Amino acid sequence: MTENFPHLVKEMDLQVQEARRTPNKRNPKRTTPRHIIIKMPRAKDKERILKTARERNSVTYKGIPIRLSADFSTETLQARREWQEIFKVMNTKNLQPRLLYPAKLSFRIEGQIKSFTDKEKLKEFITTKPGLYEMLKGIL
């Protein structure tokens, strides 16, 4: 962090929560990058770091380019979990579902892409589509 954001680190209280190597899924013998999880007391700090990283276009660790990604809050994870059962059914029926950030379900039907932020709006929509209604009536 001090290598990339020296002016931000002085203002923040950062703690490394976890650092570990994970096995590569394709080739277990190949060395993989280390995942470093940093715990920040305030969400605003995380937003400032990610914004600065986007502006810089490259972040390095010991001179090697790395990628930063944000974690999801517990509320966002719970909202995304609520879509999982519907997502699985739609996936088996080849509707090409996607979970967009933060917790928005998107899928393709009749050549159009439809997006829904909550289950109530999806319920209203499926009442107009009998095939989709039959597919999801037990879930919703």
Which pTM value belongs to this model? 0.53
In tens, the pLDDT along 61-93 reads 777 777 776 666 677 778 888 999 999 999 999
6-66 and 74-137 share one fold: no
For residues 1 and 44, what is the distance between their CA atoms, to the nearest angstrom?
16
The Cα angle at residue 126 between residues 89 and 91, in degrees rounded to 5: 20
Domain 74-137, what fold? Rec A Protein; domain 2 (3.30.250)
pLDDT of residue 32: 60
Q: Return the domain boundaries, the chain.
A: 6-66, 74-137
For residues 53 and 31, what is the distance between their CA atoms, to the nearest angstrom?
25
Do strands 104-109 and 34-39 pair parallel, antiparallel, or not at all (unpaired)? unpaired
The CA-atom distances, in angstroms, between 23 and each of 17, 26, 37, 58, 78 are 20, 9, 17, 25, 27
How many CB atoms sit inside 10 A of residue 91's CB? 13
Residue type for 111, please?
G
Task: Please answer whether residues 110 and 96 qualify as being in contact, where contact means their C-beta atoms are separated by less than 8 angstroms.
Answer: no
In tens, the pLDDT along 14-58 reads 655 555 555 666 666 666 655 666 666 666 777 777 787 778 777
Domain 6-66 sits in CATH 3.30.70.1820: yes
Tell whether the model's pLDDT for residue 121 goes beyond 70. Answer: yes
